[in-house]
Structure 1
Amino acid sequence: VTALSYSGDVLSFVNEKKVSYSYLHGGNDSNVVATDVYVSVNEFVEEGDLLVRIAGSDVTQLIQNEVDAINNAYQDIEGIYKRIDKINELKSKLMVTAPTDGMVAYVNYREGDEIIASEQSDQWSLMLMDVYNTDEMYIYTTVSDLDVLYISQDAPVTVTVDALPGEIFEGKVLRLDSYTDYRTGETVYNVQIKVEGREGLRPGMNTNCFVDSGESLDTLLIPIEAVFEENGKQKVEVLVGENEVEVVEIEVGLMNDMYVEVLSGLEEGQLVVTGSTKDLMPSQSVPENGSILPVKN
């Protein structure tokens, strides 16, 4: 048996499926654009594989409409979030919180009171309350022109409080300044003291401050009552005879509430006048034993 052989071309496929735009869209004659082609010739595909992505004017407009609707929805949502943020901001401004740890010392308004803010309002009418820090408190006091010479910044200070007997607080000199009292014309020296606070110490309490201005050993002391100022210089009256006194200029050093250190101008053993005999009580007299205090007759 002789085999027969022929040559020819494959003209069609069995079960051929032609894919066209009109097939998919029912004969719509509108122009379309193939935006993406995902297959090539002789490539095997399975049912459901993506072949071509197309777009026409109607489809493009439909998609754009949907995109615009989504963008508008996003804008609406963004506007809602902004309104929510604004409401939360307003709510936060209505909630007044403590600016620091501390104790409430003063409350200016009660529940139900109306707070009026206007051009005529001052800082006190707008103040809701006063909160002070109990860890650090400040004491303001005045000193004489004699004492201010021996007070320096950062000098240690021991503080006692009349309302807290036995309690001692530590502090230091924070600042010194001065001003002229317009009523008397005198210069007033202010001292600001920073004190370490703790439970019990309250604003307005009366305090006693002891500034450590140093110490001096083996020095010459005289009663503070004996010192007076004349022409800007420190002087004392020295007893030179039975009934005679001499004014002597001295240089002073450290001092406290009772004694003054004399650096120059006096010698040990000299007698200084601390006051007039007119200041003595009828039952007192000037002693002859060197005591600095009068004695009873």
Structure 2
Amino acid sequence: MKSISLPKLNRTQISVIVAVIVIAILAAIIFAVVSAQTQPPSNTVAVRRGDISAAVNATGKVRAKKSARLSLPMSGIVQSIVKLEGDGVNPGDVILALRADETTRRFRQAELNLQSRQLDLARGKSSPRDEDIEIARAQLRKATMAIAAAEAAYNASPSAQNDAAREIARADLDIARANFNRVTNGLSKEEIETLQNAVVSAQLDLESARAALAQTKLTAPFTATVTEIAVREGELVGGFAPLATVADLNALEIAAEIDEIDVANVKVGQKVEVRLDAFPGERFSGILTRLFPAASAQRGSTVYAAVVEFDRKNFDVRLGMGANLKILTVEKKGALLVPNRALKNVGTRKAVQILAPGAPRDVIVEVGVTDGNETEIVSGVNEGDQVLVGQ
């Protein structure tokens, strides 16, 4: 095997090669330093402008804006259930009825009594008929003959019995004479007023009977859907016991609960992002329309009730569906933003580290709105400044 022999280098050539190598190494070092000074570290971000909002999270349930639990003031046995859950009703529609035999009888009797009193008044106001006059005249003639006979009997044989018969005959004559005068001359003003008062009294009795009869029927107060029937046919129910519930399903809202630690930031009119458990991934736009002033205890926490109106779009939203709410309490457009990881505490204040020649420096900043990921910087930095993240 032949060996390869390299040409021998003189000192001048070796010096040139070494110089070239040293220059290359120095050039690489200078390039790395310059690049490090001109390129920001990978753990920096630029202060940017953008939109940011703060929100309060809450929960709630879908309910109807208009609903009613219905009852009757009287007790009784449920005779019939006319409408069932899911049935639509209009104002006045009967939902169920109690047994009302005695109440119906009193109503019919009141109707007949009014008709009788009205007939008496009509007769009293009308002109006398010839046949009525003849009847009254005949009764008067008969009574006159009877008193004459009674007087003769007493005169022939005075006795207690004949005296009593004579007094009865006189009374019959007075009645017959008064009846004849009434028929021929018409009723007096006072008698007409008495008949009129009787009609008014009968009308009041009928209205009272009608109201009592109405109280045996449970009717719908407005256009709605029956959502609950709380009784069964044949069941004995007490007065004012809940019998049924109706609701207008065309107008829904969300009954929300807001924790006491968040309620100070919540106001009527704020926008709400609604998510319903029944429709994962769907978002519905809403607005806070009511915030109740008094707190209540729920599951060991103090909460405030609120109402959210929302656009259910074309979804089949139903009563009682659970809702997760994001109430937008603050919205800022074009704010200076940095990631929350760029913020650090300096005493009681906030600061960021800004890249500067030589080494990063701390800059005290005034912060504003935060959404949990980014924070608004009110003062202290400018758009485009490079800040360190996660230091």
TM-score under structure 2 normalisation?
Answer: 0.38
Q: Which has the higher contact order (CA 8 A, sep 6+)?
A: 2
Larger helix share, 1 or 2: 2
TM-score by length of 1: 0.47
